Structure 1
């Protein structure tokens, strides 16, 4: 009987302490509810912002098959032809995008470079292929096996 009374007394005290802790928690939450909600929303927006920033600014390392136009422009040309003509990998990338029909501004946006940089690369490629226009450059690149 003595142990039962002690256990009962301990159980009642434990429940009372748990109830007090619960009500104290409720009181703190009710007093500072606005600040807690604002803090949670701030954390949520920060996490979403970081995720969106990484997703939108990540450079693609592999070609996206859904963006391919089916011309085979994303096939790799022979390195010895590129070396013989002196065409750099970035110039080849610009030439492939020209072959897809993109404007200089669209190419600049896709490659994350300035419009003047695209114009410089395109001009260098045209000079190396001895072409005056985009269509001539594409035609000569196809004849040389640079583009499919």
Structure 2
């Protein structure tokens, strides 16, 4: 799933205004402030240059991570991600893929109204797991609408019976509405007919063969194909099949 998400994120065009460094500097200041105020691990990723800036608050020591500010040549903070329980990591990537798909359907100005919240088990330096809340917010886009700067925040979850974190949700911060949760994220993305068409595409059937098999016109089949590509944010049948398999469709 990460490979598919990585491909989609980095395949964007990233057309820029003359002074993108000003927005980057502001985003760095925000990321640093979060790490100080919330004692969290704050990771700002620049998808265009494929770099990340990591600001480790006090929780980093609990997880056996250095307290130093670091810059890495990757959009993935693997020193931390390698400590996440494998089941939770896959859940995280799947929900973030869905988040990327969602943001490409809404106005660029509204993107910062949304975030992903995921509950993760992360291994501490004593070898035991701690529950951590992970938040993902895309804080800036380039002029062509490419999603550019991503902010990830890792906070220790309070050990209190009344303090609950959802397993995984996409949330609208402005309205408080949960857009999708980790249980139903892809179940209704495609219609039953679109799933049938995609299944036949996966088995190598051409549009004429699919039309004959499902008793449809070839124009209807082609319309279903285009709807599938649009909903999955892909450009060809091979990529559609890969995304569908990785997301459990």
Q: TM-score, normalised by structure 1?
A: 0.43
Structure with higher Rg: it is 1
Structure ranking higher in helix proportion: 1
Greater length-normalized contact order (CA 8 Å, ≥ 6 residues apart): 1
Structure ranking higher in strand proportion: 2
